[in-house]
Amino acid sequence: MKIKRHASVLALIAAGALALSACGSDQNTNSGGSSPSGTGNSNAAGVKPDCEGVKEAIKASGSSAQANAIARFQVAYQNACSGKKMDYNSNGSGNGVKEFLGKQTDFGGSDSPLSKDKGEVQQATARCDGAPAWNLPAVFGPIAITYNVKGADGLVLDGSVLGKIFSGQITTWNDPAIAALNQGKTLPGDKITVIFRSDESGTTDNFQQYLEASSKGTWTKGKGKVFNGGIGEGAKGNENTSAAIARTPGSITYNEWSFAKQNKLQIAKIVNSGGGEAVELNSASAGKAIEGAKVKGQGNDLELDLKSIYATPTPGAYPLVLAAYEIVCSKYTDQAQGKAVKAFLTAAVTTGQRGLEDNGYIPVPEAFQTKLLTAIGAIA
């Protein structure tokens, strides 16, 4: 299976390959001025993939939200382990989990961890021949609220208004609730067209969890990988929701920041649950929110509790941030397969983190990187 790459990403990766192989230290900085984790982080210094005895080719599938990050990880892996490759199919988190559980892939990519309620944890143990599966958050990506309203750049929204928009309670752009957050802006009376993910999506799950936590009761539709708003037009994957926004005046959706940047879409500012100033999405504001994330998994299962992010009152913290997981077996019966997964993920969370801001991601925070390297090192 081949990763669905975009032309602009290919051009960027081609240039990045030279930088990754030639540079011993990262020259990129995020908007907060600090070096990205995995580059100048002393905890990762000298950590390199062990390429001895790895399977020549492995494959994974799932989250389209992390597809552009995976493209960078592939370059880092190929530079570290010459002649080895990992193919990724960006077909949505739901498919990523299903194909991993069905042994169609070596690991899965998902914007939501394995669900106990749906029996996924138990199925994963069976898939891993009795060994537990681990959720490893290797990619942090803000979810952008993107829209297409001419003359309304920098639109301000909050959880309450978004809950009403995505459940059909607010249907026009000049609604008083939107106008109250955007004083001084001239808003059209055009109908709002909601675009949602038609496939099972971890991005949808995270967005609906955010609405539950921050809407102050205006969102009562629940959460999950299927959009529950009951309105709008569906599009498959971040690629197609982004394309739908670009061609549909009056539309709004939720999609991963890297796709919003790549397609030059209008991005809303969000007033978080603190009720203060609107927060612009950038590396610094998203990083500020990530600092509050807590691990709720046990041992090397690094499932995160993101509820405190969704409803964060912290000034300047952007509240809509998802963690994209690589779902792996803690032990593989095929030793070469396990070694390849371990080598790929080691490259991903070290040199693979370089320049992620260029694609709209936040490099793994140092505290998580240390935990990730410990967990990855324990894969057998």
Residues annotated within the binding site for phosphate are 63-65, 93, 111, 201-203
Query: Phi-psi region for residue 25, left (φ > 0), alpha (ψ -120 to 50) or beta?
Result: beta
Residue 269 CB coordination number (10 Å) = 19
Residue 103 CB coordination number (10 Å) = 10
Residue 58: helix, strand or coil by DSSP? strand
Burial 290-307 (b: 16+ CB within 10 A, else e): beebeeebeebbbbbebe
Q: At 230, list the tokens.
A: 């009951």
Residue 262 CB coordination number (10 Å) = 20
Query: Phi-psi region for residue 299, left (φ > 0), alpha (ψ -120 to 50) or beta?
Result: left
Q: At 61, list the tokens.
A: 């599938």
Q: At 43, list the tokens.
A: 């905890």
Angle of CA points 241, 247, 250, to nearest 5°:
90
> How far, in Å, CA of 143 to CA of 130, rounded?
35
> How far, in Å, CA of 50 to CA of 70, rounded?
19
Angle of CA points 286, 186, 178, to nearest 5°:
50
| Residue 189 half-sphere exposure toward CB, CA atoms < 13 A | 0
What is the bridge-based pairing of β-strands 107-110 and 57-62?
A: parallel
- Strand ranges for 111-171 from DSSP E: 133-147, 156-158
Residues flagged as binding site: 63-65, 93, 111, 201-203
Residues near 167 by beta carbon (within 8 Å), at least 6 away in sequence: 218, 219, 220, 221, 229, 230, 231
